[in-house]
Amino acid sequence: MRNFTFQNETKIEFGKESYKKLPEQFKKDGIDKILMVYGRNSIKKIGLYDTLIKDLKDAGIEVIEISGVQPNPRLSLVKEGLEKFKNEKCQAILAVGGGSVIDTSKAISAGYFYDGDIWDLFAKKAPVKEGLPIYTILTLSATGSEMNGNAVITNEKTNQKWDISSKALFPVVSYIPPELQFSLPKSQTINGGVDAISHVMEFYFDTTPRTEIQDALAEGIIKTVIKATETLIEDPEDYQCRAALAWGATLALNGLLATGKQGGDWSSHMIEHALSAKTDVAHGKGLAIVFPAFLEFSKSKIMEKLDRFAEKIFGIDTGNKGYDSDLAIKALKDWYRKIGQPVKLNQIGVEENQIEEIAENAAQISPFGQIHNMNKKEILEVLKISYK
Amino acid sequence: MRNFTFQNETKIEFGKESYKKLPEQFKKDGIDKILMVYGRNSIKKIGLYDTLIKDLKDAGIEVIEISGVQPNPRLSLVKEGLEKFKNEKCQAILAVGGGSVIDTSKAISAGYFYDGDIWDLFAKKAPVKEGLPIYTILTLSATGSEMNGNAVITNEKTNQKWDISSKALFPVVSYIPPELQFSLPKSQTINGGVDAISHVMEFYFDTTPRTEIQDALAEGIIKTVIKATETLIEDPEDYQCRAALAWGATLALNGLLATGKQGGDWSSHMIEHALSAKTDVAHGKGLAIVFPAFLEFSKSKIMEKLDRFAEKIFGIDTGNKGYDSDLAIKALKDWYRKIGQPVKLNQIGVEENQIEEIAENAAQISPFGQIHNMNKKEILEVLKISYK
């Protein structure tokens, strides 16, 4: 365990209809005009939009809207939202949706306090110093964005999917009502589960020695999310499994698992970001393809951990045979297949000759990684393993 | 899992010599005069006192001191500290020590904003509404007080060991440097481990159904703390075990394990508080006696959980024999014996005829408990089981 600083001030309001507390919170915080950010129709279909607008109106809160956020959220919409926020002189942002909506809101927030081109912040040409008050109502558990200061945005002009991270971007309050996820398409539930597990794994395979307590917590979260995801595929309205997946996804990336580690590895995420920047594949699908390939590429450096992973997560008796990292990687891929995820690039229509440009895209922000120093050569090797 | 609100704003600075960052933090927070609360000689013996006073002086921070805090900290010292804080017009409190020192500091903080007799707050005649900025340097991991808003104080005139709890009492920053605990007496390390585990168990045995993720986290913390405590008995200067025990003890009572539960049970703690109010036994010893007796008393209501506990914590194959709660309770008592804790009241010199008055004392704040509605009759039964 290394030295660490931990602080997470976001308030979580978790549970059925917890968003009903939102108008009261705005009043308490002196907010009476907000920019509400959301996606397309899903929040209208589940009736959340109408309820929310009525509740906010009844409380005397003026709502300016910006909608149309897509998965792999676009920079252009961020800029549009920022313009609207400024013109309308809003006081806070309400993100109603999943990680894409929250990340769009965080980017607006960061951009508000920066005079130059907002993409500078993502290119790390300037730091994010300040943020607007952000409130979120989570309708899709996956990214953990509801309780951290990270945001990932795609610049659709340059095909770059890059991130920002700052203490200033933590939401003030996040409402997590699991029942809002009952009607999610099956694929989104699955992608969410895979994303959550992948966040945990980024920390778990960080090679910092002696992190017993973090590893035990990580295993608890992964096992719970795996079980909940499996049940939800069969019964999407199982409230308790929605709750377990939701809270697990939040805890996966709220800083708890980062304590004492060297930041996590994140190579799989960086490579996947390049993959979805180039192909627009869903993040959870991309991770199911890239992560096992990355583990394969890294196995000589994380043998002991892979063995423990096989044993603790999948109950495989690794016995006295010495380390056999392939057991863990095979079990993980088998589980992805079982829940219907692709595990190879060729399953999602990527051609072999695209690998080079994906690697090139990822290499723009190289070197990265805690386990290796990942540059284009290493990224290419991972992508080749992941091809077929 | 039930609905819950979770928020914990305390900043943790964890790791070797992390307290070196303290003067800078005070400067940043605009604090230049503090009341420093500590116990007796231990912080002087380990050299912390001298280093700290020098660092604070060099940073231009004026230090007013109050010392002499004992285990089961006394109300009289709280009042003395409050007087000093007011007379000297301090701006913040620095607690340097373990839970007793931090709790004393919190009581001073709560008392500062209350005009009546400070004990009213503990008797729940008035709520704690506001608090002073508290900073802590932890030298004994056990109570978790470094990352929550709870404090337990003993009124030595009335022999009442009662608690307060408020959002206003969370420390601003807590420094947790594990190496400061290298020279702790063995018994204090053991009591600390037992206290931490007991906090986890209070939540674990809460009978709220379907709390898989909290239970998995709880098991991870208990197992890590058990292993760390065992190693530290042999090698008190094992930094990584000190770190694991320290972070485990903090996480045990920072709100994480309370999420989705019905508050935890806390009967064992309430009964133990009465026990140490009457006998001044160390909290960790008292818990090793009371907790297994409480589980015995409760076993028909928590059979399934006890079975899981035996399996997950002590690796006992409970097989297909149906539930056998005695396995878990026996394993827990065996572990307490193994690390040298008493498991019966008669081992710490309590006479059978004292049981009545201990029960009477605990019953003053009854009914309590999540599993049962504990009144004097039930408290007496637990104490009888715990006698010999």
The verdict on a CB contact (< 8 Å) between B260 and A243 is yes
Q: Which of A3, A14, A223 sits opposite B6 (nearest CB)?
A: A14
Q: Which region, left, alpha or beta, applies to residue B90 given φ > 0 means left and ψ of -120 to 50 means alpha?
A: beta
Out of B178-192, B202-216, B313-327, least confident range: B313-327
Determine what percent of chain A is predicted with pLDDT higher than 90: 97
Q: What is the mean pLDDT of chain B?
A: 96
Q: What tokens does A328 get?
A: 């863990």
Q: Do B243 and A1 touch (CB under 8 A)?
A: yes
Average pLDDT over residues B17-43: 97
* Chain B positions in Cβ-Cβ contact with residue A216 (cut-off 8 Å): 219-221, 223-224
Q: Which residues of chain B neighbour A138 with C-beta distances below 8 Å?
A: none
Q: Count Cα atoms within 13 angstroms, Cβ side, for B116.
A: 10
Per-residue pLDDT at A9: 97
User: Does B256 sit within 8 Å of A247, measured CB to CB?
Assistant: no
The percent of residues in chain B predicted with pLDDT above 90, rounded, is 97
Crossing angle for the helix pair A212-234 and B239-252, to the nearest 10 degrees: 50
Q: Measured between beta carbons, which residues in chain A are less than 8 angstroms from residue B259? A: 14, 247
| pLDDT class of A170 with cuts at 50, 70, 90 | very high
Q: Are A239 and B1 in contact (CB under 8 A)?
A: no
Q: Within a 13 Å sphere around the CA of B341, how many CA atoms are in the beta-carbon half?
A: 30
Residue type, B323: Y
Determine contact, residues A242/A248, Cβ cutoff 8 Å. no
Q: Convert the pLDDT of each residue in A332-346 to its tens digit.
A: 999 999 999 999 999
Whether residue B3 and residue A14 make contact (CB cut-off 8 A), yes or no, is yes
Q: Smallest CA–CA separation between A34 and chain B, in Å?
A: 23
Q: How confident is the model at residue B181 (pLDDT cuts 50, 70, 90)?
A: very high
Question: Which chain B residues are within 8 Å of A257, Cβ to Cβ?
Answer: none
Using the Cβ of A18 and the Cβ atoms of chain B, whether some distance falls under 8 Å is answered with yes
Per-residue model confidence (pLDDT) at position B324: 73
Q: Which of A247-256, A360-369, B324-333, B345-354 has the lowest mean pLDDT?
A: B324-333
- Comparing alpha-carbon positions, the chain B residue that sits nearest to A242 is B1
Q: Answer whether B212 touches A (CB < 8 Å).
A: yes
Long-range contacts at B58-61 (CB < 8 A, ≥ 24 apart):
B58/B23, B59/B23, B59/B24, B59/B26, B59/B27, B60/B32, B61/B23, B61/B26, B61/B31, B61/B32, B61/B33, B61/B34
Q: What is the mean pLDDT of chain A?
A: 96
User: In chain A, which residues have their Cβ closer than 8 Å to the Cβ of B251?
Assistant: 213
Residue with tokens 């989104």: A188
Give the mean model confidence (pLDDT) for residues A158-172. 96
Min CA distance, A78 vs chain B (Å)? 29
The pLDDT of residue A3 is above 80: yes
Which of A3, A9, A227 is opposite residue B9, by nearest beta carbon?
Answer: A9
Which residue from A189, A197, A94 is spatially nearest to A140, judged by alpha carbons?
Answer: A189
pLDDT over 90 at B262, yes or no: yes
In tens, the pLDDT along A219-253 reads 999 999 999 999 999 999 999 999 999 999 999 99
- The first and second tokens of residue A63, run together, are 């709502």
In tens, the pLDDT along B362-372 reads 999 999 999 99
For B131-150, the pLDDT digits (tens) are 999 999 999 999 999 999 99
B-proximal residues of A, 27-56, CB under 8 Å: none
CB B251 within 8 Å of CB B193: no
Query: Rounded mean pLDDT of A171-180?
Result: 98
Q: For residue range A304-338, list pLDDT tens digits in order.
A: 999 999 999 999 987 766 667 789 999 999 999 99
- Chain B touched by A315 (CB under 8 Å): no
On chain A, the residues whose CB falls within 8 A of the CB of B216 are 219-221, 223-224
Q: What mean pLDDT do residues A269-291 have? A: 95
CB contact under 8 A, A4 and B12: yes
**Residue contact A210–B244, C-beta within 8 A:** yes
Domains of chain A: 11-180 (3.40.50.1970), 184-387 (1.20.1090.10)
- Considering only the beta carbons, identify the residue of A13, A14, A213 that sits closest to B220: A213
Among B7, B12, B243, the residue with its CB nearest the CB of A6 is B12
Q: Is the pLDDT of residue A140 over 90?
A: yes
- B15 vs A9: CB contact, 8 Å cut-off? no
Q: Which of B7, B210, B221 sits opposite A12 (nearest CB)?
A: B7
Cβ atoms of A117 and A111 within 8 Å: the answer is: no
Give A259's contacts in chain B (Cβ within 8 Å).
14, 247
Contacts of A240 in chain B (CB under 8 A): 1, 210
Q: Would you say B74 and B154 are in contact if contact means Cβ atoms under 8 Å apart? A: yes
CA distances from A13 to A18, A56, A176, A209, B271 (A): 6, 17, 6, 35, 32
Give the pLDDT of residue A317: 84
- Which pLDDT score is estimated for B320? 61
Q: What is the pLDDT of residue B229?
A: 98
- Which residue among A210, A220, A227 sits closest to B217, beta carbon to beta carbon? A220
For residue A217, give how far its alpha carbon lies from the nearest alpha carbon of chain B (Å).
5
Predicted pLDDT of residue A322: 62
Q: Answer yes or no: is pLDDT of B321 > 70.
A: no
B382 inside 8 A of chain A by CB: no
pLDDT of residue B99: 97
User: What's residue B157's pLDDT?
Assistant: 96
Angle subtended at Cα B239 by Cα B238 and Cα B245, rounded to the nearest 5 degrees:
90
- Chain B residues within an 8 Å CB radius of A256: 256
What gap in Å lies between CA A58 and CA A46, rounded to an integer?
A: 20
What does the block give as tokens for B354? Answer: 């004292």
Taking the CB of residue B236, how many other CB atoms lie within 10 A of it?
A: 16
- Say if residues A347 and A286 touch (Cβ distance below 8 Å): no
Question: Which element (helix H / strand E) includes B36?
Answer: strand B33-38
Q: Identify the closest residue of chain A to B252 by CA–CA distance.
A: A213
Mean pLDDT, residues A15-40: 98
What band does B322 get if pLDDT is binned at 50, 70 and 90? low
